Amino acid sequence: MSEKQFSLAGKVLRVDLTSGRVWTEPTKRYTQRFLGGRGIDNWILYDEVKPWVTPFDPANRLILGTGVLVGTLAPCATRHSIDGKSPMTGGVGSANSCGHFAPELKFAGYDHIVFQGRSRRPVFLWIDDDQVKILDASLIWGKTTWETDDLIKEDLGDEEIQIACIGPAGENLVRSACIITNRARSASRCGLGAVMGSKNLKAVAVRGSGSIEVAYPERFMEVVDETWEKLRLSGAASKVRNPHTLNELSLMPVRNFQYAYMSPDKLDKLMPEVYEEYEVRKLGYFACPIYCSRFYQVKHGLYAGLASEGLHTNDLWNWVARFDLDLDYPAAMIKLHALCNEYGLDQDNASCSIAWAFECYQRGIFTQEDTDGLKLEWGDYQVVAELLRKVAYREGLGDLLAEGSKRASQIVGQGSERLAIHIKGQDSMEAMRTSKGWALGCGVSTRGGTHTRGAAFIEMQKDIPSEICEKIWGVQVEGPLSYENKAKLVVYYERLQAVLDSLGVCLFCSNYNGPDLLGPDDLAELYSAATGIEMDGDGLMRMGERIHNIEKAFNVLHAGFSRRDDYPPQRLMDEPVKSGPMRGERLHREKWDQMLDEYYELHGWDKETGWQTRKCLEDLDLRRVADDLEKVERFSAQFLDSVS
């Protein structure tokens, strides 16, 4: 390998917040085996954080990683991965977001930042190319993310600075705290905002004036043109998730998953065209031809004056479905989204624990004495808004809900445990009774639920030609109700997602969304031309498998997860869909077991325990990981057989 590392800034920035020491190391130390972004982040996490370290210990790491293709014209290569030990699960904590932060960090000269230790007072990191300073943040501690953004830009006298910061939720160690960039882009799930808060780190501000160079410029631009054209022809920019389609598939977590289908009349009030009245402009981030985001302005009613970026499919699930809202005032959804951004709350996790409290109230487990006098009645968005505030500041009932529904239910008891819908301890936001490949991807996800690991969203697409299915996935894509071939799809998407997150490319431009979008071969062409390291699609997917196995091993070593943790929430197996076209549908345990068997087999893991085998790890050049697992006897019987 040549000395020069193309398509990278070249350095990993190390910051010890306890001593105030700052230093760098070359990124190339890690790239050959772990690509970049999420891959390198999770290797550093695995390598440096010991199993006895708890998420809020100074010894935990908070790692920000940009993708290999970020900063170039590769389509949608604008993402950063933030990783650390998760306060939600005790295993891998991994969050991902787009924004202008990642390219700015690379232009400043850094591919990753690794924070360790804990500052004695609140601080923020200021990176101005090669000038890196740890500055006092006592005046911005306690501020919302929007106030923080304003104050840092004002203080440093530069409107173009890119900032990643936490709000009150992160400072107060709320387990559903996230990290916000560009006031609205949220690195969510896993509570990494609270890890940042535990380190007394309020923000990272960066300004970069450097450049990114690719290995073969002409070849790279040819692939850029091909991939941009592919996205244009696919119509990716205009694909909108129709609320009615999701409803007909019973993918609505209505009233804390008691129902999966809601009245179509309620959805009619929230169709995308309703929000055109509020839309100021369409928004995209660095080199993104999809521009899926929108900026909204509210001119009338309770929230008049609100101006905010936001709204995506999650808002439909998290507010409208979860709380069964019948919105005659559509701006309420914009407000709930904006509140989460201001407080630095991950709306997926936060809405889940609040919905759990609503159901506790419905069933009499909570009375107004437990809820600070609030009536938690389904459909009341103002109560939801008030509870978001209470969670962010850990006030009253919010202090309990800040723990997430699993922990909260263990404190409350009285049968409320059954109402806590979580996977591996993290609140699960996805309805999944009717979509088996989507459900499997959530169930086995290394970060504890969530559909952005291996969930096979592709199963919702009808009529993909069989020759295309065979070429891309090696199997036919059966409909969402079928359990057939879903394990294979999930393994495919786990690998692809690890690759995307390591290259910094958005999931939405990949074949997660449709067969005509970018797949491993397209990404490999971009990667090879950018880095000068020749790699085909299979080679990239093997890297994805390695990255996925690192996270799996971290979970086994740190959280003790095994097969029993790879199941969906019990309610989704016990209680069928109660109404709508999918009435009667649920997840079946015996069929789930069959999918799991097939899934473990495809990874080369042990079916009985769900643990990895020495063979699979050594095939991935992870002997050190195999040795670590052997020491704590977290190997399968298959391993013991192979050495006896």
Partner 1 sequence: MVKLRVHSEKCTGCKACEAACSYHHGKIFSPKVASLWVYRADKEGTMHIKLYAELTEEEKKGRFPCDRCVGEPEPLCAKYCVVGAIVVA
Residue number, 101 or 483, with CB nearest to partner 1: 101
Tell me the β-bridge partners of 123: 136, 201
Q: How far is the CB of 557 from partner 1 (least distance, A)?
A: 39
Tell me whether residue 104 or residue 566 sits nearer to partner 1 (CB atom): 104
Amino acid letter at 136? D
How far from 267 is each of 4, 316, 324, 326, 457, CA to CA, in Å? Answer: 54, 9, 10, 8, 21
Q: Which residues of 245-275 are buried (b: 16+ CB within 10 A; e: fewer)?
A: ebbbbbbbbbbbbbbbbbeeebbeebeeeeb
CB of 343 to partner 1, least distance (A): 17
Considering the complex, state which of residue 124 and residue 361 has its C-beta at the smaller distance from partner 1.
124
What's the min distance (Å) between Cβ of 379 and partner 1? 30
Q: How far is Cα 445 from Cα 205, in angstroms, rounded to an integer?
A: 31
Rounded-to-integer distance, Cα 71 and Cα 42, Å: 21
- Residue 427 in tokens: 């609140």
124 near 140, Cβ under 8 Å?
Answer: yes
Residue 388: closest CA among 345, 335, 439, 331: 345
Alpha carbon distances (Å) from 474 to 33, 179, 516: 26, 38, 16
Of the pair 74, 125, the CB lying nearest partner 1 is at 74
| Residue placing its CB nearer to partner 1 in the complex, 86 or 145 | 145
Q: What are the φ and ψ backbone dihedral angles of 85, each rounded to 5 degrees?
A: -75, 130
Cβ at position 73, least distance to partner 1 in Å: 5
11: helix, strand or coil = strand
Dist. CA 403–CA 157, nearest whole Å: 38
- The residue (of 29 and 282) whose beta carbon lies closer to partner 1 is 282
For residue 158, give the DSSP letter.
-
Q: Which residue has the tokens 């005032």?
A: 329
Shortest Cβ distance from residue 277 to partner 1 (Å)? 15
Q: What's the closest the beta carbon of residue 281 comes to partner 1, in angstroms?
A: 6
State in angstroms the smallest separation of the CB of 521 from partner 1: 23
Q: What is the DSSP letter of 403?
A: T
- Which residues have CB under 8 Å from 235's CB, separation 6+? none
Nearer to partner 1, 296 or 438 (CB): 296
Binding site for partner 1 (CB under 8 A): 71-73, 100, 103, 107, 146, 149-150, 159-160, 182-184, 208-214, 217, 221, 228, 232, 237, 280-289, 291, 295, 297, 307, 309
Let me know the angle formed at the C-alpha of 345 by 344 and 348, rounded to the nearest 5 degrees. 145
Least Å from the CB of residue 188 to partner 1: 18
Q: 84 pairs with which residues across the strands? A: 93
Nearer to partner 1, 18 or 209 (CB): 209
**Closest separation in Å from C-beta 145 to partner 1:** 11
Q: Which amino acid type is present at position 457?
A: F
Q: Which is nearer to partner 1, 55 or 310 (CB)?
A: 310
For residues 39 and 16, the answer to whether their CB atoms sit within 8 Å is: no
Nearer to partner 1, 10 or 537 (CB): 10
Closest separation in Å from C-beta 38 to partner 1: 22
CA nearest neighbour of 219 among 552, 577, 526: 526
